Chains A and B, each alone.
Chain A
Amino acid sequence: MTGFLLRRLGGAVFVLLALSVVVYLVFYAAPGNVAQIVCGERCSPAQVAQVHDRLQLGDPIYVQYWHFLQGLFAGRDFSSGVGVVHCDAPCLGLSYRQDSPVTDILVNKLPVTGSLVIGAFVLWILLGVGTGLLSAWKRGGAIERTLTGLTLIGFSTPVFVIGLVLIIVFCSTLGWLPFPQYTPFSDNPEQWFWGLLLPWISLALIESAKYARLVRSSMLETLAEDHVRTFRAYGLTERAIVGKHALRGAVAPVIALSALDAGSMFGGAVLTESLFGIQGIGKLLVDSVRQVDLPVVVGVVMTTGFFVVLANAVADALYAMADRRVVLQ
């Protein structure tokens, strides 16, 4: 197990390094004057020159990348004309627009996106696995057809449609829920919950559709296996067979997929956050792209990569715990 974790960690570091090279090249080695782009159309040549110095764009690209890596692992200093700004490790760069280290910006946004993703994750797993199980169990009947229809609708409806409908119905018309907004959990847990409920539901509805279909098909596959036949031949109830023996086999793919989904969503649920005005990483990404705040964009991409790699390692470990035949190596 320790060996597995070490190797996995090594692999993760390698993947992240590779990702950083690609991202760095895409954003900083692309043709055009990076300083001009970063500063904006209306910057005076003097301002552009200042940005150029500040981002150390005069150095060759590999030196720039080396500085970037140094920043990640040891922190780095940026000269800002007037003085020196220190950026602690892990330093993802300095946002010129927000005049703040990218890491700080991200750390501020993480609890927001984290709240959104974790709540939605719990909901979509419950909803998706439940629906999938039910439609596998009641296969061939009206219930299954209804559920299949619903999941198809959920699958193909964009989040801004579902979200808007939910807001109109529950907030405007019925007035049952407050308009969605983020309140930190530590300030007021109750407001945190009610304010995030609608975003959770809209995100979960869409994600769960995918899971319902996955669980249904892998459940039907497991139900056709020999050991299910054995328990049927030994008088176990259909509920025990479906709920215990078949379920265990059917959740394996769910572990793998949900890790990927949750991991990438930590890098921002862009549409959901924008729609509900939640100031998370997704919203940050959209804003930074719009403002061409390159260091922040690079930071968000790296963070997303980090969470995806982390989630995958967790998924592998869970997989091995769920199925003892899997040997971690």
Chain B
Amino acid sequence: MTEATTEALVEVVDLGISFGETRAVDGLSFSLAPGAALGVVGESGSGKSASAYALLGLHRSTGAVVDGTVRVAGTDVQRASDAELRRLRGGVAAMVFQDPLSSLDPYYAIGDQIAEVYRVHRGGSKRAARARAVEVLDRVGIPDAARKARSRPHEFSGGMRQRALIAMALACEPKLLIADEPTTALDVTVQAQILDLLHGLRQETGMGLLLVTHDVGVAAESVDDVLVMRQGRAVERGPVRDVLGAPKAAYTKELLSAVPRLDAAKPAASDAGEPLLEARDLRKVFGRGKSSFTAVDGVSLTVRRGETLGVVGESGSGKTTLGRMLVGLLDTTSGTIRRDGTAVQMVFQDPVASLNPRRSIGESVADPLRASGVRDEQRIRARVGELLERVGLDPDRYDRYPHEFSGGQRQRVGIARALAAEPQLIVCDEPVSALDVTTQAHVTELLAELQRELGLGLVFIAHDLAVVRQVSDRVAVMRRGRIVEEGAVDEVYGSPKDPYTRQLLAAVPTVDPVLAAVRRAARKELREQLREQAGAAGRDEVAAA
């Protein structure tokens, strides 16, 4: 028996994964003791997800070549028969995926999907399996689980879906939970709830956790050990406090220094000049009648020359709609925008989707020039070359196509295109949220540089509070179409007045694991207080009735 207890839950030795010519993972070894939690941290393309998939043998018959050994709870994943592998998947080790909407079957009720997985491993009647589904849904905090089990995935919110996926993972009481970017698609307050849930479940069930994430803060909140990956190899591994507190590898240091922090403020703007844009009481209503939806509800703001206004909020808060109205891409339902001849341009979130894949990047940058009536081809080429150089790209790559560029480079193209029209004000809508942290830092630096040189006014729209803090002079916090708090960035972050701002700030993961534990406890206390208050209110109502 001693052997069984000391045997590692996961034992990976010299794992290599190749997709055709690409070596995605190379010589990766790690182990995980029963009940332990390991975070695998890396930027996109580091091979972290591919490694996690290998634990369940998910590369089998996909064309990927896997070598090395992978043992999970005594099963040799590489050599296991298909039937053995199926027993392992979901029964012993269960996976939680990134995008909870697409990861559930849209056609079936959530409870039935969980019940199906349960019956595959445990058998029994459909009735018993449904009961188990309701039980686990209740366990992950789905209110009114018996009724909600009959809902389809699209009827759930993002956070509820992720809870449902976790419930599916719990259905067969696995020994290992593999979570692949479980909170990446979620708002920051929901992310905090999910991470707390995972933490609580781990304490309660004693299962091991392998958490794959690009977000160092998420790892700091959730795991004991951390493994930093880069280009398919392990760069550093150790207890989370050591690796994040005193990193040894140069790459880990670089990664950590690139992570935007809530306490790192932008150097104060030299001189906020005259107002470039004034918006008064903006409203935007989509649809009409009963199905109408007010996306922006009475927002006023001013942006001055040389300053950055950060607009922060969760999904659905109306920040993108606001940005589009400021640029003039959307009509306002009511309210006024005074631009006083200010040329306004926009930089979009997704540099892949916002560049035409069939046109060279030079042509895309030249678009605003042509639109403004420049016809002289030589002048256009020269000006585009200048712009590309200005954003840190090689002007000789004028004729290259978007797919030949990395995500960060594509965003630079997007910025060059915005600059082509010589704007005084640029509205950036989530300009760095699709990028890795090290790339994020470079792009925000570029924006700051351009601002200093050209005296640009910037509106920086983002969901990431830390990024907004880093780049903004003033910040507006949006919720449900309204600005709940606005002010100098130090004031809003230092002494937030609105409870929603406080809640947002409390939910931001910190890269300091000690602080993370303290804050988790504080969040738990806050939740209990709220529950008690709600309970007391309920009793009062009953008493009054």
Residues in chain A within 8 A of chain B (CB atoms): 225-227, 229-237, 240, 245, 248-249, 322-325
Contact = CB atoms under 8 A, between A and B. Distances in A.
A172 B102 CA distance: 56
A227 B102 contact: yes
Contacts of A245: 105, 107-108
A234 B105 CA distance: 13
Contacts of A323: 106-107
27 contacts: A226-B99, A227-B104, A227-B106, A230-B95, A230-B105, A230-B168, A232-B89, A233-B56, A233-B90, A233-B94, A233-B95, A234-B94, A234-B95, A235-B86, A235-B87, A236-B86, A236-B116, A237-B86, A237-B120, A245-B107, A245-B108, A248-B105, A248-B107, A249-B106, A323-B107, A324-B154, A325-B106
Contacts of B102: 225-227
Contacts of A236: 86, 116-117, 120
A234 B56 CA distance: 9
Given A229-B58, A324-B152, A325-B152, A234 B106 contact: no
A36 B350 CA distance: 68
A233 B58 contact: yes
B87 A232 contact: no
B348 interface: no
Interface of B: 56, 58, 85-91, 94-95, 97, 99, 102-108, 116-117, 120-121, 152, 154, 165, 168
A246 B6 CA distance: 41
Nearest to A241: B105
B106 A230 contact: no
A237 B116 CA distance: 11
Interface centre among A225, A236, A323, by most chain B C-beta atoms within 10 angstroms, is A236
Contacts of B116: 236, 240
A249 B104 contact: no
Given A235-B121, A324-B152, 8 more contacts: A227-B105, A229-B58, A232-B58, A233-B58, A235-B91, A236-B120, A249-B107, A323-B107
B103 A230 contact: yes
A257 B322 CA distance: 42
Contacts of A325: 106, 152, 154
Contacts of A234: 89-90, 94-95, 117, 120, 168
A227 B102 CA distance: 6
A323 B153 CA distance: 12
A124 B380 CA distance: 59
Given A236-B86, A236-B117, A231 B105 contact: yes
A226 B103 contact: yes
A235 to B, nearest CB: 4
Nearest to A329: B291
Given A227-B105, A248-B107, A325-B154, A235 B97 contact: no
A327 B116 CA distance: 27
A249 B97 CA distance: 20
B88 A229 contact: no
Interface centre among A232, A233, A236, A324, by most chain B C-beta atoms within 10 angstroms, is A233
A245 B91 CA distance: 20
A321 to B, nearest CB: 11
A235 B120 contact: yes
A319 to B, nearest CB: 12
B518 to A, nearest CB: 35
Considering the complex of A and B, which 9 residue pairs feature the smallest CB-CB distances, nearest first?
A: A234-B90, A226-B102, A235-B89, A235-B86, A235-B90, A248-B107, A227-B105, A234-B117, A233-B95
A233 B107 CA distance: 19
Given A229-B97, A325-B152, A235 B105 contact: no
A230 B103 CA distance: 6
Nearest to B95: A233
Contacts of A232: 58, 89
B511 to A, nearest CB: 29
Contacts of B88: 235
Contacts of A249: 106-107
A168 B104 CA distance: 52
Contacts of B97: 226, 229-230, 233
B157 to A, nearest CB: 15
Given A230-B97, A232-B89, A234-B117, A322 B107 contact: yes
Nearest to B121: A235
Interface centre among B90, B105, B165, by most chain A C-beta atoms within 10 angstroms, is B105
